[in-house]
């Protein structure tokens, strides 16, 4: 039995999320079905995180245990061939004895893309959130620092969130502008269900001048989902990397 470490990239639009489920296609099921076709083995692929329907990944670490004798390169090539035409690809594959994609992960990173223009999206439709009103990215970044640190994020988590506690430590929440794009980068050991999208939605209100840092702080302090301003759509959200004791996978900023 060999444990393999994958780095997975996918466009989340056709899927109900990462996790295999009975009511629609998932990224996990697509990869597991491809491995079954290659090896004849029914396996479980474990990822460092779980993305929701419509959310993407640029570098999602995952692992799987396979009995068949096969090199990492041949396994990656064979899986990718069988994944076509689904928008999922294994970017890297290596043997990783004893390594666990989820339990060994010490940090997860997300990036949210807002395209700040009046014209409709063409190439980026489904891959970013178009906001036609001019956004003040500097005000958004300044207000975002209210959320950095350890807090009760009840306001910013979905009513369907299954986490035992709403307490999370947000390590970074940075907002930058690159021409007509506004990027929000979030880093933490773990996130609550919809936490990043909820934070982005409220920061959008700050960028529009409808909220200030005090409003964001009040929403956090309320510990009440009804105090949330806006929940951003999944389109612009991507899992971009994860950190482990021995390596960092994906983007760092």
| 8-state DSSP, 53 | T
Q: Are 229 and 211 in contact (CB under 8 A)?
A: yes
3-state DSSP assignment of residue 190:
coil
Q: Is residue 180 flagged as an active site residue?
A: no
Q: Are 168 and 153 in contact (CB under 8 A)?
A: yes
3-state DSSP assignment of residue 60:
strand
Give the largest CA-CA distance in the chain.
59
In 3D space, the residue among 251, 214, 242 whose CA is nearest the CA of residue 60 turns out to be: 242
Exactly one of 33, 52, 65, 214 is catalytic; name it: 52
Cα–Cα dist 74/71, whole Å: 5
Q: Are 210 and 131 in contact (CB under 8 A)?
A: no
* 244 HSE (CA, 13 A, CB side): 18
**Residue 136, burial from CB neighbour count under 10 angstroms (0-12, 13-18, 19+):** middle
Pairing relation of β-strands 46-47 and 56-66? antiparallel
3-state DSSP assignment of residue 92:
strand
Q: Which residues are catalytic?
A: 52
């Amino acid at each position: 039995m060999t444990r393999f470490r994958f780095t997975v990239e996918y466009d989340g639009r056709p899927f109900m999320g990462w996790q295999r489920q009975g009511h629609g296609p998932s990224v996990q099921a697509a990869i597991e079905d491809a491995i079954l076709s290659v090896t004849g083995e029914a396996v479980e692929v474990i990822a460092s995180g779980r993305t929701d329907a419509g959310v993407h990944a640029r570098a999602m670490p995952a692992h799987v245990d396979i009995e068949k004798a096969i090199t990492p390169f041949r396994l990656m090539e064979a899986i990718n061939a069988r994944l076509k035409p689904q928008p999922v690809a294994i970017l890297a594959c290596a043997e990783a004895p004893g390594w666990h994609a989820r339990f060994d992960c010490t940090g997860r990173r997300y990036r949210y893309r807002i395209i700040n223009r009046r014209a409709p999206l063409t190439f980026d439709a489904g891959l970013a959130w178009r906001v036609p009103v001019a956004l003040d990215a500097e005000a958004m970044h300044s207000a975002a620092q209210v959320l950095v640190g350890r807090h009760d994020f009840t306001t910013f988590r979905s009513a369907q969130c299954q986490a035992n506690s709403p307490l999370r430590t947000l390590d970074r929440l940075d907002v930058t502008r690159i021409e007509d794009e506004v990027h929000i980068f979030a880093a933490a050991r773990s996130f609550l269900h919809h936490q990043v999208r909820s934070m982005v939605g409220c920061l959008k209100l700050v960028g529009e001048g409808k909220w200030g840092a005090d409003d964001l702080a009040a929403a956090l302090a309320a510990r009440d989902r009804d105090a949330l301003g806006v929940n951003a759509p999944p389109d612009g959200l991507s899992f971009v990397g994860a950190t482990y004791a021995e390596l960092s996978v994906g983007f760092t900023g």
